[in-house]
C-alpha cells in the first residue's frame, strides 16, 4: 500500500485529476459569462430598455391593498428617514406597519409621531424574538393581500408599488424581489457592499428571471402574496437567513 507521499505524487498522473482541475478552473469563468450575457442580452434588451424609454411603470386598473411591513430593532437613527419615504409612496391603497421587536433604544419614541398622526400602525413586541418571529407576529395584523417587506434602513422609491404590484396580476406569482441599491458608499466596507448588491442582486437575479428560477428573494425589499406566506408556514425562526429560506 503506497504511503501518503507516494499517493500525492501519483494523483497528478491520473487523467481524472486533470479533468477535475480544468472543470474547477473554468466553471466559474463559464458561469460568469452565462450570467452576464443572459442578464444583458435577454433581460436588458428585451425588458429594461423598453421600460426605460417609457420611463413610467405599467398602468393599473385595479389597486389591491398592500401592506408595507417594516421590522425594526434598535433603529433609532434611521427609522424616521425610512418612514418619511415609506409614507410618500405613490399608490392609492396601502398601509405602513412597523413591528418593533422590543427595541431598547429610542426607536419607539421616533415612531410615535407617525403613529399618532395615523400614518403608521405599530405592532409593539415586549420580548425580542428575532426578525422572523417579529414578521410572523405582524402578518396576521396586516390588511393587505400583498405584503412588501422592507429593512428599517431602506428608503423606497415613490413608484415602488406601481412597479411591483402589476406582477401579481398573474395568479402564479407569489413573490417579487426588489432591486436594492447602496446609497452610502463612503467607506471601504460600503463599497464592497455596493459590489455585492450590483453583482449578486442586480446581475444574477436579472439572469435568473430569464431562466425562471430566482434563487433568493431580496431581504432588503421584497413583496409577497400574503396567502403564499401563510401557505408555506410563514418565516422560519430557526433560520439565520429567513429571506433565503422563504424563497426556497
Same domain, 133 and 234: yes
Same domain, 224 and 110: yes
Domain range for 190 is: 182-214
Flag the least confident range among 124-133, 163-172, 173-182, 184-193. Answer: 184-193
Same domain, 241 and 125: yes
Same domain, 235 and 171: yes
Same domain, 165 and 208: no
The total domain count for the chain is 2
What is the distance between the alpha carbons of residues 36 and 43, in angstroms, rounded to a whole number?
A: 10
Same domain, 75 and 190: no
Identify whether 232 is part of a domain.
yes
Same domain, 140 and 112: yes
pTM value is: 0.77
Same domain, 104 and 194: no
According to the per-residue pLDDT averaged within each range, which of 47-51, 66-70, 167-171 is highest?
Answer: 66-70
218 or 123: whose pLDDT is higher?
123
Same domain, 137 and 196: no
- Residue 2's pLDDT is 66
- Residue 42's pLDDT is 67
Same domain, 140 and 204: no
Same domain, 112 and 156: yes
Cα 36 to chain centroid distance, Å, stands at 20
The CATH number that applies at residue 97 is: 3.90.550.10
- Residue 161's pLDDT is 93
pLDDT tens-digit map of 100-123: 998 888 899 999 999 999 999 999
What is the distance between the alpha carbons of residues 202 and 222, in angstroms, rounded to a whole number?
A: 14
Same domain, 210 and 225: no
Identify whether 54 is part of a domain.
no
Amino acid at each position: 500500500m503506497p504511503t501518503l507521499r507516494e499517493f500525492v505524487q501519483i494523483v497528478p498522473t491520473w487523467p481524472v485529476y486533470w479533468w477535475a482541475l480544468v472543470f474547477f478552473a473554468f466553471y466559474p469563468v463559464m458561469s460568469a459569462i452565462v450570467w452576464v450575457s443572459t442578464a444583458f442580452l435577454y433581460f436588458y434588451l428585451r425588458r429594461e430598455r423598453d421600460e426605460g424609454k417609457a420611463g413610467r411603470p405599467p398602468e393599473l386598473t385595479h389597486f389591491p391593498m398592500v401592506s408595507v411591513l417594516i421590522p425594526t430593532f434598535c433603529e433609532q437613527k434611521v427609522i424616521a428617514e425610512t418612514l418619511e419615504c415609506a409614507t410618500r409612496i405613490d399608490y392609492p391603497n396601502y398601509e405602513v406597519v412597523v413591528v418593533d421587536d422590543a427595541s431598547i433604544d429610542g426607536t419607539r419614541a421616533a415612531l410615535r409621531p407617525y403613529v399618532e398622526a395615523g400614518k403608521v400602525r405599530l405592532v409593539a413586541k415586549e420580548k425580542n424574538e428575532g426578525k422572523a418571529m417579529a414578521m410572523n407576529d405582524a402578518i396576521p395584523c396586516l390588511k393587505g393581500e400583498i405584503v412588501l417587506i422592507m429593512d428599517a434602513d431602506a428608503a423606497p422609491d415613490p413608484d415602488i408599488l406601481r412597479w411591483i404590484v402589476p406582477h401579481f396580476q398573474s395568479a402564479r406569482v407569489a413573490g417579487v424581489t426588489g432591486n436594492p441599491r447602496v446609497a452610502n458608499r463612503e467607506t471601504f466596507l460600503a463599497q464592497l457592499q455596493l459590489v455585492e448588491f450590483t453583482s449578486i442582486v442586480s446581475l444574477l437575479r436579472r439572469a435568473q428571471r430569464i431562466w425562471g428560477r430566482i434563487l433568493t428573494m431580496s431581504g432588503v425589499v421584497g413583496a409577497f402574496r400574503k396567502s403564499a406566506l401563510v401557505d408555506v408556514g410563514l418565516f422560519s425562526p430557526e433560520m439565520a437567513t429567513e429571506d433565503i429560506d422563504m424563497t426556497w
